[in-house]
Structure 1
Amino acid sequence: MTILSASTRKKMHLISGAVLGVFVLLHFSNHALGLVSIDAMETGRRIFTSVWQSIPGTALLYGALLLHFLMALDSLYRRQTFRMPVGEALKIIFGLSLPFLLVPHVVAARVEPLLSGVYPDYPAILRTLWSSSFNTSRQSLALIVVWGHACLGAWFWMRGRAWFPKYETLLYTVALLVPIFALLGFVNGARSLERDYAEHGGYGDRAYSSQAPRVDPNLLDKIRLAFYGGFASLIGGTLVLRALPARGRIRIRYPDGRVAAVSLGFSVLEASRAAGIPHVSVCGGRGRCSTCRVRITQGLEGQPPPEAAELATLTRIGAPENVRLACQFRPVHNVSVVPILDTDSLGIKTQLARQNAGGRERRVAVLFCDLRDFTRIAEHRLPYDTVFLLNRYFEVVGEAVEGSGGVVDKFIGDGALAIFGLKTPLPEACRQALSAAARLSQGIRALNQTFEGELEQPLRLAIGLHAGPAIIGEMGYGQATSLTVVGDTINTASRLEGLAKEHDVELAVSAELVERAGLSFEGHRRLEIGLRGRKATLETWIIGDAAQLSLSLPMQG
């Protein structure tokens, strides 16, 4: 049973890390004063130690250090897989290596003075650190690793925040300059010492022999070994515990038929990574964004409810009950999921891309949709708000298309192209396309209700539908290659979307598609339109409110 909730553990990890980050930043700033003079470094050291070596400061610093290390071990123990992004892996490696890099410095700077009763000044500290190339290299490496770990931790926390893009350049500049100034101050301060400070010394050896009573070097060696052994035992014990067989196995099924069989306790995101299945996660799996969210198609009953952090994110985006954050959702029994923002790499298009890499012709139904006057709406909104609104709209499109059995081919600005019939007969594909249009209309209405207080005018759709032959294949160049469709059918659907705008309606659908769907749209307006490059006209139904179609369409399974 978990004593602390996941959100509480994350807050403890974050707060302790913030305390240590402040300490590191001030400590490195003190090093940077070496660019001025040794006296400036020493003055800064006195101020620095008056805070951090006081009783409250010592309790805060070492309490935060212990808590942060324990939370790191807890996180390591709970992690179900070591498949992760490079940045996250570096953060963990840096964090676990820090104790072994810092033990000699801590023993020399804090433990030995406690035993001897004399605290060294900056010249003595620099003499120790500059006593050999090994000491110098180790301390420089420790400085870089400490700062790298701190920056990666801060970046994972900040990158999902609304204000981060505004200060991103400034923060990256600070992250780059702080260690550079600290290393330059360290080197300049050491080189400015008088020649008598250049005598050889070492940690716990002759470093402070001129100032302090000698401390038995064997005792200091034992203390260092005890620290090394303690840290190694804690890390090793954690790895052993997490390697023990877990109780229970569950199966997570993805839309392309792949299944991740994992131990009970895995999150869906961890299962995706363990199985090598691509899964978007901008915040690194910390529940601070919604990019990893999945729609649960089977097995929702009896699953644990969202905790506070996940619930807050889901509420903010207005997610339905069957949508969960993959990084936070830990199923307790078998479940089927559809990653909402990564369906292109997980769904039907992956299979079809392999089958149709060389291209083939197939009869499909095509949906073109576009937001009307969105450029004018975006002019009065902040870039982040515009992106957020567009992503909500794209989510509506994706759920409407996928929920009807289609595939989103691509997003073009604020428009989208979807295909139906890649693996189904054309009549069914036509019904799926009409169903998607109805769902799209309903989804935009719900979106308008959500943003009612923020939009000067509601979002309006224009949709074009047509059916016919199209060429399917892998097209593009380099990394921009993907499965797509081309042909006159696509162009016609695009022209119908423009026609819907011209007539100020939501939907323009070719009579051919309606007939192949086995439906009748009597009672709606019917036009015969001419198309560029065609002599014959195209009979088209004009539908003012596409949501009304849901009353006459057959239910989609």
Structure 2
Amino acid sequence: MTILSADIRKKAHLVSGAVLGSFVLCHLINHSLGLISVGAMEAGRRTLGLLWQSTPGTVLLYSALLLHFLMALDSLYRRQTLRMPVGEALKIVFGLSLPFLLIPHVVAARVEPILTGINADYPMILRGLWSHASNASRQSVALLLVWGHACLGAWFWMRGRSWFARYEILLYTIAILVPIFALFGFVSGARSLPPVYAEHGAYGDRASISRSQNSPTAEDIRLALYAGFTGLIGGALALRALPSRGRIRVRYPDGRVAAVSLGFSVLEASRAAGIPHVSVCGGRGRCSTCRIRIIEGLEGQPEPDAAELATLTRIGAPNNVRLACQFRPVHNVTVVPVLDNDSLGTKTQLARHNGGGRERQVAVLFCDLRDFTRIAEHRLPYDTVFLLNRYFQMVGEAVEGSGGVIDKFIGDGALAIFGLKGSYKDACLQSLTAAMRLSEGVRALNQTFEAELRHPLRLAIGLHAGPAIIGEMGYGRATSLTAVGDTINIASRLEGLAKEHDCELAVSVELAGRAGIGLDGNRRLDISLRGRQARLETWIVENAAEISKALPAED
């Protein structure tokens, strides 16, 4: 029976993990102060102790620890198959091994001071850990595992967020440097202990350490904690092995069948049967790439929960489409994975690394040469190709020089994206700068080819900003990073609007506002776009080069 909903369980796991991650970060920073001195480590411990060793802090910390461990066991129990990506497996293994590595340290640092009345300071802790090489090694391994577990958990949560790409390098740098500084501080602090504590070739007074560690009460507590955590993990695995209440069959259109226990999600059934099934977010209901169309057996199935319903509503899915990672059928069902060609029995290409789609806030530029067909019909084919290549070179230099990337060339037009790196505001400014440079560039081309062109080259540019899905799309060698979404469609239609009004640039008021510039003095239209209910306020700019007056000065 489910006491807590899936959404509450996820939030409990996330919040408890955030509390533990904050404590671990503070603890490792405290270790790194050993690079300064043991005194600095002790001063940091006392400062952080005001939070973590206070009664509210202690209750919060150990409640989060217990809750996080129980949520991990619950997740392990509910997982219908142990087939999973390597990252998920490592996160689980790290998490389950941590209690056994940390119990001796927790008992020595928290339990024994309560039993003996002697508070452990950093010199005492370091002497205890370095009294035996095994203690120091175990603590170092525990440090790396607990940080690795925290980083993997944070990565699984952050990787689908729109802002993650902007801070990815910074976060990876922090993830690497924090444990390195902590380990160096741990060693440096121990080595800086006074020589009086370096008897018998180790850091510490072995006699006092031995009396403390061999206290019957402390030893009993350690053994009880070992037994308790072992029993909890063993119990979760034993419950998984109990016979299920029934079996269901998930059929795929190419004839393959996954026979699984009741309670499996369709994604878990696919994995258990070795059937490829796309899932960019790892089966957490944060994307719709695993969605399936139910062609038989929809009647009597459980309704989608709030999180699944929100995703399905966002993509406008019909009633017979569900998320495979969230849909747990209660009787036999036949499904078609919408985005998994292998499950349909057709050829599929090898997915590129990091090819999964991600929603980003971007600025989009569409540009097109006006009446180029009329210009080209009076030129030799090779001359036309030469002129187009000079034009494409100018477009590429203008876009890349402004901080954007060329998505593709379409005939004599181009699609460019801004914001794959940097802030949303910067993306909007970059797109306007690119439009200005395109205007200047086409005038330079007209001067160069003035003697050869019966009519000057004229551009039409459309600019808009908003959310778009960025990912690898295409087939085989034609696969490339591209963008799709309503923002792309609107930018394309604004380019067409520029042609209709015989001007060089049509830019949405939204983009100009995001960039923080005004285009007063130009026409401002409130237009309706085909297929879009809301009207769009748009600036109509006769000469895109003139917006240089509104743009901030370049460094």
Sort the TM-score into its range (normalised by shorter chain): 0.5 to 0.7
Please say if residues 131 and 205 of structure 2, whose CA atoms lie closer than 8 Å, have aligned partners that are also in contact: no
Report how far residue 73 of structure 1 moved: 0.9
Residues 82 and 204 from structure 1, CA distance in 2 versus in 1: closer, same or farther, beyond 3 angstroms? Answer: farther
Partner of 2:490 in structure 1?
Answer: 455
Q: Distance in 2 between matches of 1:288 and 1:18?
A: 19
Please say if residues 292 and 324 of structure 2, whose CA atoms lie closer than 8 Å, have aligned partners that are also in contact: yes
Partner of 1:265 in structure 2?
Answer: 263
Residues 373 and 255 from structure 1, CA distance in 2 versus in 1: closer, same or farther, beyond 3 angstroms? Answer: farther
Residue 335 of structure 1, aligned match among 329, 333, 336: 333
Q: Given the alignment of the two structures, is residue 235 of structure 1 paired with residue 233 of structure 2, yes or no?
A: yes
For 1:455, the aligned partner's letter is I
Report how far residue 298 of structure 1 moved: 2.0
Please say if residues 19 and 61 of structure 2, whose CA atoms lie closer than 8 Å, have aligned partners that are also in contact: yes
Report how far residue 318 of structure 1 moved: 2.7
Q: Distance in 2 between matches of 1:203 and 1:233?
A: 35
Residues 371 and 348 from structure 1, CA distance in 2 versus in 1: closer, same or farther, beyond 3 angstroms? Answer: farther
Please say if residues 127 and 207 of structure 1, whose CA atoms lie closer than 8 Å, have aligned partners that are also in contact: no
Q: TM-score, normalised by structure 2?
A: 0.65
Report how far residue 335 of structure 1 moved: 1.3
Q: Distance in 2 between matches of 1:373 and 1:458?
A: 16
Q: Given the alignment of the two structures, is residue 346 of structure 1 paired with residue 343 of structure 2, yes or no?
A: yes
Please say if residues 34 and 189 of structure 1, whose CA atoms lie closer than 8 Å, have aligned partners that are also in contact: yes
Report how far residue 391 of structure 1 moved: 6.5
For 2:11, the aligned partner's letter is K
Please say if residues 32 and 184 of structure 1, whose CA atoms lie closer than 8 Å, have aligned partners that are also in contact: yes
SS of residue in 2 equivalent to 1:312: helix
Partner of 1:248 in structure 2?
Answer: 246
Please say if residues 269 and 285 of structure 1, whose CA atoms lie closer than 8 Å, have aligned partners that are also in contact: yes
SS of residue in 2 equivalent to 1:456: helix
Partner of 2:141 in structure 1?
Answer: 141
Please say if residues 289 and 313 of structure 1, whose CA atoms lie closer than 8 Å, have aligned partners that are also in contact: yes
For 1:347, the aligned partner's letter is L
Q: Distance in 1 between matches of 2:157 and 2:102?
A: 25
Report how far residue 296 of structure 1 moved: 1.9
Report how far residue 280 of structure 1 moved: 2.0
Residues 118 and 222 from structure 1, CA distance in 2 versus in 1: closer, same or farther, beyond 3 angstroms? Answer: same
For 2:277, the aligned partner's letter is H
Tell me the alpha carbon deviations over residues 144-167 of structure 1, each in whole angstroms, 9 at most, x when there is no partner: 110111111111111111111111
Q: TM-score, normalised by structure 1?
A: 0.65
Q: Distance in 1 between matches of 2:494 and 2:241?
A: 52
Q: Distance in 1 between matches of 2:417 and 2:240?
A: 52
- List gaps (5 residues or longer) in structure 2: 351-407, 425-464, 496-555
Report how far residue 277 of structure 1 moved: 1.2
SS of residue in 2 equivalent to 1:379: strand
Report how far residue 323 of structure 1 moved: 2.0
Partner of 1:194 in structure 2?
Answer: 194
Residues 373 and 75 from structure 1, CA distance in 2 versus in 1: closer, same or farther, beyond 3 angstroms? Answer: farther
Q: Distance in 1 between matches of 2:419 and 2:186?
A: 47
Residue 277 of structure 1, aligned match among 254, 275, 278: 275
Residues 63 and 181 from structure 1, CA distance in 2 versus in 1: closer, same or farther, beyond 3 angstroms? Answer: same
SS of residue in 2 equivalent to 1:131: coil
SS of residue in 2 equivalent to 1:349: coil
Residues 204 and 190 from structure 1, CA distance in 2 versus in 1: closer, same or farther, beyond 3 angstroms? Answer: closer
Partner of 1:296 in structure 2?
Answer: 294
Please say if residues 280 and 341 of structure 1, whose CA atoms lie closer than 8 Å, have aligned partners that are also in contact: yes
Partner of 1:173 in structure 2?
Answer: 173
Pairwise mapping of residues 441-520 of structure 1 onto structure 2 (< 5 A)?
451=486, 455-458=490-493
Please say if residues 120 and 208 of structure 1, whose CA atoms lie closer than 8 Å, have aligned partners that are also in contact: no
Tell me the alpha carbon deviations over residues 449-503 of structure 1, each in whole angstroms, 9 at most, x when there is no partner: xx3897234599xxxxxxxxxxxxxxxxxxxxxxxxxxxxxxxxxxxxxxxxxxx
Partner of 1:305 in structure 2?
Answer: 303
- List gaps (5 residues or longer) in structure 1: 354-369, 398-407, 416-446, 461-557
Tell me the alpha carbon deviations over residues 534-555 of structure 1, each in whole angstroms, 9 at most, x when there is no partner: xxxxxxxxxxxxxxxxxxxxxx
Which stretch has the larger CA shift, 61-70 or 374-383? Answer: 374-383
For 1:337, the aligned partner's letter is V
Partner of 1:78 in structure 2?
Answer: 78
Which stretch has the larger CA shift, 312-321 or 127-136? Answer: 312-321
Pairwise mapping of residues 19-30 of structure 1 onto structure 2 (< 5 A)?
19-30=19-30
Tell me the alpha carbon deviations over residues 129-157 of structure 1, each in whole angstroms, 9 at most, x when there is no partner: 11111001100010011011111111111
Residues 341 and 411 from structure 1, CA distance in 2 versus in 1: closer, same or farther, beyond 3 angstroms? Answer: farther
Q: Distance in 2 between matches of 1:17 and 1:378?
A: 40
Partner of 1:127 in structure 2?
Answer: 127
For 1:264, the aligned partner's letter is L
- Give identity over the alignment, percent: 66
Report how far residue 88 of structure 1 moved: 0.4
Tell me the alpha carbon deviations over residues 285-343 of structure 1, each in whole angstroms, 9 at most, x when there is no partner: 11112222222222222221211222222223333322221111111111122222221
Q: Distance in 1 between matches of 2:75 and 2:26?
A: 27
Please say if residues 467 and 487 of structure 2, whose CA atoms lie closer than 8 Å, have aligned partners that are also in contact: no
Partner of 1:504 in structure 2?
Answer: none
Residues 37 and 104 from structure 1, CA distance in 2 versus in 1: closer, same or farther, beyond 3 angstroms? Answer: same
Please say if residues 32 and 182 of structure 1, whose CA atoms lie closer than 8 Å, have aligned partners that are also in contact: yes
Please say if residues 255 and 347 of structure 1, whose CA atoms lie closer than 8 Å, have aligned partners that are also in contact: yes
Q: Distance in 2 between matches of 1:197 and 1:452?
A: 68
Please say if residues 251 and 333 of structure 2, whose CA atoms lie closer than 8 Å, have aligned partners that are also in contact: yes
Report how far residue 67 of structure 1 moved: 0.6
For 2:216, the aligned partner's letter is N
SS of residue in 1 equivalent to 2:259: strand
Q: Distance in 1 between matches of 2:28 and 2:481?
A: 47
Report how far residue 180 of structure 1 moved: 0.6
